[in-house]
Chains A and B, each alone.
Chain A
């Protein structure tokens, strides 16, 4: 009897669009105003794409396909007519790979750091550049590439840095994306995409063998540390 009454009350709240007050309310099928990644399975898992105005992260070890995923997201953003920025802290972008991913290079602001062993200084400069870009506004997707930074240097970044970044983009249409070897920081509504992958080869004979791509798996961790799902895809060479 109590369950029936509860169901009636919840139905009434939903009818008046007050269902957000319900603790049992299911998340909507599609996240409003999301930045689609244009990887169908991943977008399904993300309920439309990456949340705007939030700090999210793509993490993974080397050759896990994290850079491929980020370039694909940048390309998807430029296809929507947005302008994007890449703070390339250690100057690792291969322009040919970016073009192969379908990225409109004219709409990419590429900020090149330097491949120096003075990691702290390089990261600090990259953070300043990231702040400038986020404060300027108008960018659909801003990627901060820290994939080649050593863990010790990353852990020396004050936690308040990420709070400040989140505060900067809050309420805007910008997606700020960290590219890091390990989970580093994300905002309360942000996502963590953990990439795992291995090289895929074609050809059995030594002379006919070639690197075909990467077999990727992306694990999505959403707010409140809930695992939304795991997606398998492949990156072609």
Chain B
């Protein structure tokens, strides 16, 4: 059994009533919420599920009267209809001049039969009746819903397709979909007024724990996780210290959330003592994890988030993560991104069994231990070929060159700026992985010194200065 409430007329009957349909429908929702937890707004109507209310009120007529009384008490003028289907209740409440309509069980089709066909256009505002289709019905001589419902369904389907069949079912008072109850917006927020202002993170961690435990439990009960965590600290200076944490995945673990908040506050501490603490979460559907029996388990996102926050606090925010290769010819340029490994490893070409491979195929590739800021060197050269390398740095001996290969000349970005490689901005920029925008023009050499160490050195063509790029290792 379903009921429908439709506002009739735009004017309020009471002096403090609503002045437009929008607030009036909101008031109807409040009325519906007083009677049933399952209600849905459909255009200017509110449809509610009345199942079980007969045990409380008795006859459906008594339910309708109670609804009508509640509406009038709120200063509204609205029609109430009760029928076996949502569609029939909605149609009857929208059209009947009588403020209260109650249809007995099984008589829905008969009750809606006298209603005009144009009502179908009002029934479904998202998919209204096509005006051309309405004119088709008129040409067929159909005026009421009963006329349309009396036609054979297969004949309507043959002429108008699936859409015609859908309207045919509506004309009979049938529901095309079940009631989809409106879910009230829930706020995930906890606040705590402190009796005495607190200073420092240690006492605050206890307060945060007290706030985050119920918040996490609330999120877990609703099957939600926090996507963004907001912390508002009201300070004794009458100012607000706000922090927002964008979490990599939805999480509702109170300990992890507290650790992340505290680590963030270590970097951004409040400037004064705290009066009031408010923690709020933007909810999002919680993660559903399916673990594999065969794959090695990775650390949970909560563990990784905490680890990254701790590492960032220790080493610096841009010094932890996964390296990224930058699309540039410039040597040594790279980028950084957050460490977020995919649980499934990348599909790679299958590697043959180790013992069946030739040793050469499994040999490691030579790595360059790169100096992030090139080391200035004094090089004695003959016709451009380095003969002797001297470096004024601890741990690097230098010496005569035993073998050398080169030069390999590279240049780029000369059309942008002309900064030397040894200048500080380049070093700083390269250190941050954004050095691809600076120019370079140099001759590279691979040299091996007498002590058996192989270096990559280069000569900057603009200044003629020599630098060590790195050590082959």
- In the bound assembly, the distance between CA atoms of A203 and B446 in angstroms comes to 14
Give A178 Cβ to nearest chain B Cβ, in Å. Answer: 15
Residue in chain A with minimal CB distance to B393: A117
Q: When chains A and B are docked, how far (Å) is the Cα of A99 from the Cα of B325?
A: 8
Question: Does residue B364 face the partner (Cβ distance < 8 Å to A)?
Answer: yes
Q: Does A2 contact B (CB under 8 A)?
A: no
Query: How extensive is the interface on chain B, given as a class?
Result: 35 or more
Quick one: given A63-B454, A65-B364, are A211 and B307 in contact (CB under 8 Å)?
A: no
Q: Does A36 contact B (CB under 8 A)?
A: yes
Contact: A235 with B366, CB < 8 Å?
A: yes
A68-B365, A132-B310 in contact; A81/B452 too (CB < 8 A)?
Answer: no
Contact B325 A96 (CB under 8 A): yes
Interface residues of A in 92-112 (CB under 8 A from B): 92-101, 104-112
> Quick check: B310 and A95 within 8 Å, CB to CB?
no
Contact for B299 among A63, A136, A236, CB less than 8 A: A136
Which residues of B, 279-322, contact A by the 8 Å Cβ criterion?
295-299, 303-304, 306-307, 310-311, 314-315, 319-322
Contacts of A111 in B (CB 8 A): 311, 315, 319-320
A71 with B367: CB separation less than 8 A: yes
A223 at the interface (CB under 8 A from B): no
A219: B residues at CB distance < 8 A: none
The number of chain A residues with a CB under 8 A from chain B is: 78
Say whether A108 contacts B322, CB under 8 Å. Answer: yes
Q: Please, what's the 1-or-0 string for A154-192, where 1 marks a CB less than 8 Å from any CB in chain B?
A: 000000000000000000010000000000000000000
Q: How far is the CA of A72 from the CA of B325 in the complex (A)?
A: 18
Among A51-84, those with CB < 8 Å from B are 61-69, 71-72, 78-83
- Chain A's closest residue to B433 (CB) is A95
Contact A109:B365 (CB < 8 A) given known A79-B351, A129-B314, A129-B315: no
Contact A67 B367 (CB under 8 A): yes
Task: Indicate if the CB atoms of A63 and B296 lie closer than 8 Å.
Answer: no
How near does chain B come to A138, taking the closest CB pair, in angstroms? 3
Which residues does chain A contribute within 8 Å of B315, judged by CB atoms? 111-113, 125, 129
Nearest CB of B to A132, in Å: 5
Expressed in whole angstroms, the Cα–Cα distance for A150 and B393 within the complex equals 12
Report the bound CA distance from A212 to B372 in whole Å. 24
Evaluate whether A233 and B359 lie within 8 angstroms (CB atoms) in the complex, with A40-B354, A105-B325, A211-B405 already known: yes
With beta carbons under 8 angstroms apart, the residue of A72, A112, A113, A117 that contacts B364 is A72
- Given contacts A64-B473, A105-B322, A199-B403, whether A132 and B454 have CB atoms under 8 Å apart is no
Kindly list 13 other residue pairs between chains A and B, CB separation below 8 angstroms, not including A93-B323, A110-B336, A173-B296: A80-B345, A81-B295, A83-B299, A94-B370, A98-B367, A99-B325, A107-B342, A136-B303, A137-B299, A201-B405, A210-B446, A211-B448, A213-B366
What are 19 sample pairs from A and B whose C-beta atoms fall under 8 A apart?
A39-B363, A44-B355, A63-B454, A71-B365, A91-B431, A95-B323, A100-B365, A105-B324, A105-B325, A106-B341, A109-B322, A111-B319, A132-B314, A140-B296, A148-B369, A213-B365, A214-B472, A234-B363, A237-B472
